[in-house]
Structure 1
Amino acid sequence: MYTEEKITDPSPGPELFDALEKPVKIHKVVQEAILLAGGAVAILLQVAEPGVAQGVDNHSNFAYRPLDRLRTTMTYVYCVTFGTRDEKKAVVEMVHRAHESVNGPGYSADDPRLQLWVAATLYAVGIELYQEMFGIFEDADAEAIYREYSVLALSLRVTPDMWPPSQKEFWKYWNNQIATMDVTDNAKSVAKNILRNKEAPLQIRLILPLVRLTTAQMLPDRLRQAYGLKTGKIRRATYRFVMGFTKATYPCLPKTIRTYPMKYYMRDMRRRLENTA
């Protein structure tokens, strides 16, 4: 699914919160609800890193709280890209506090190396889905969006020099990660809780077969096999049909519908901040 992209205009290092207080190119991508369709893919990519897998499996509960996990993740992503300076500061501080207790032998949620990988998966999955729906970006726009995506990493513990300076360098880092990571029992446990969650609300359980299908096809071959997910001619054909239908219909939806999740989670975040003020 993910391969190194052609880059002709490498740009300098990423910019921080100041540049994100005005409308920027990343908003065009992050606001789209279609990115939620890659949620399970992003999580399985994240936990393919053993340290992330340990932290998630030992300190999270996807089986009983899938909607809470979604709420936490999307609140962070939307707030860091769309929030005011004070809102960003408040949400980042909440994330840091939540991460303080997520540690154990050989792993820590505050490890910048692990946080870099988590942010990288959000970029790779998000940009893939957006371009699948709306077409490939021009090189200059693609590079600008890539730089701006670094805020998801830099707002945590990742230092600017850790975020690859260009897309070309990013995909080198990405391909090396995919080729060398091991899918552990912790990762498989998380995958089972996501893809075969018998405790989830009914509306989630009803769509799990589709989630399993699309997740399996979107994962790189090496990781799909390591997770024990199936593929084949019929599954690949079904996936192509689903993506083709989605590509033909999703961009035609009114923008108010396509951006509803972003607006919903931003309102929810602001309501919670008001209650804690």
Structure 2
Amino acid sequence: NPKNLQRILREGILLATGGTAILLQMAHPGVAQGVDEHSNFAYRPSDRLRTTMTFMYCMAWGTIEEKRTILEMVHRAHAPVNGPGYNANDPHLQLWVASTLFVCGVHMHQLIFGQMDPAAEDTLYQEYSVMATSLRVPPELWPENRQAFWKYWDENIKALPISSHAKNVSNDLLYNKAGPWWLRINLPIVRLVTAEQLPPRLRDEYGLKAHHKRYKAALGITRPIYRLLPVSLRQYPVRYYLKDMRKRMDK
């Protein structure tokens, strides 16, 4: 039972990292090209969030059969996503995507609840490897420990270019005009949070502006209020996405 992984994923505040995770993923040119050329992102921006959250929640709480079903669906969806220079099933692309999920999860949890115990974070890191290995990333590709991981992460953050494909996806996400109304009215908040949580170089290359005072003020209000919310409310996204997943599987 991946208790540390569940501890991170059960908090609904994790959804606030959605924009950051997507733009971090798009920093890899292969991921960005695949999404830009093979998805209807501008018209269905919430689909990638739903797919990602369903995948993570299933890996943490799903039955063996549910995990098998979800992974078969993911692999089928990835099969046609390929072209010159990229393939959605490339283990190095999947490693990068899984890495962004770990980074965003840890970052948000520490923002709200404070620094984790190092031993617990070591265990969490190993538990997060399922997000990579379940997508056919060879176990030996997942960095051996947190120190090796952060070396891998920092090297990529310094080197990965923000391509035109990445900027297209960023624009479709942060300035979307075709999505549902509830998404569009929240885009100013999404832009604020996403810009602040991105590494400075990536933020600049995406053409985003930091608003440190606004973000700090918003975080100062959000942190104490969120921690006072009933656990059932904080964990609602887990129940919602798992229920939605099981409903879809029954069809």
Bucket of the pairwise TM-score, normalised by the shorter protein: over 0.9
* TM-score normalized by the length of structure 2: 0.98
Q: Report what 2:114 is aligned to.
A: 135
Residues 199-208 or 107-116, more deviating? 199-208
Identical counterparts, % of pairs: 52
Q: Quick check: 2:94–2:137 contact (8 Å CA) kept in 1? A: yes
* Cross-structure match for 2:192: 213
Which residue does the alignment assign to 2:12?
33
Q: Give the secondary-structure state (helix, strand or coil) at the position aligned to 1:80.
A: helix
Structure 2: unaligned runs, 5 residues or longer: none
Q: CA deviation at 1:23?
A: 5.2
Structure 1's consecutive aligned runs of 4 or more residues displaced over 4 angstroms after TM superposition are none
- Normalising by structure 1, what TM-score? 0.89
Read off the aligned partner of 1:168 and give its amino acid letter.
Q
Cα deviation 1:190-226 (Å, max 9, x = unaligned):
0000000001111111110111111111110110010
Contact 2:5–2:128 (Cα < 8 Å) also in 1: yes
Amino acid at match of 1:251: R
In the TM superposition, residue 67 of structure 1 has moved relative to its aligned partner by: 2.5
Residues of 2 paired with 1:220 and 1:69: CA distance? 22
Secondary structure of residue in 2 paired with 1:223: helix
Distance 1:42 1:259 in 2: 20
Cα distance per residue 1:163-183 (max 9 Å; x no partner): 111111111000000000000
Counterparts of 1:98-137 in structure 2, within 5 Å, are: 98-137=77-116
1:1-277 superposed matches below 5 A: 22=1, 24-231=3-210, 235-275=211-251
Partner of 2:227, secondary structure, is: helix
Task: Report the Cα offset of residue 66 of structure 1.
Answer: 1.7
- CA–CA distance in structure 2, aligned partners of residues 134 and 146 of structure 1: 17
Aligned residues: 251
Q: Name stretches of at least 5 consecutive residues in structure 1 with no aligned partner.
A: 1-21
Matched position secondary structure for 1:200 = coil
Partner deviation per Cα, 1:88-134 (whole Å, 9 max, x = no partner): 01101110000000000000000000000000000001110011101
* 8 Å Cα contact 2:2-2:127 kept in structure 1: no
Find the aligned partners of 2:48 and 2:145 in 1 and give their Cα distance.
31
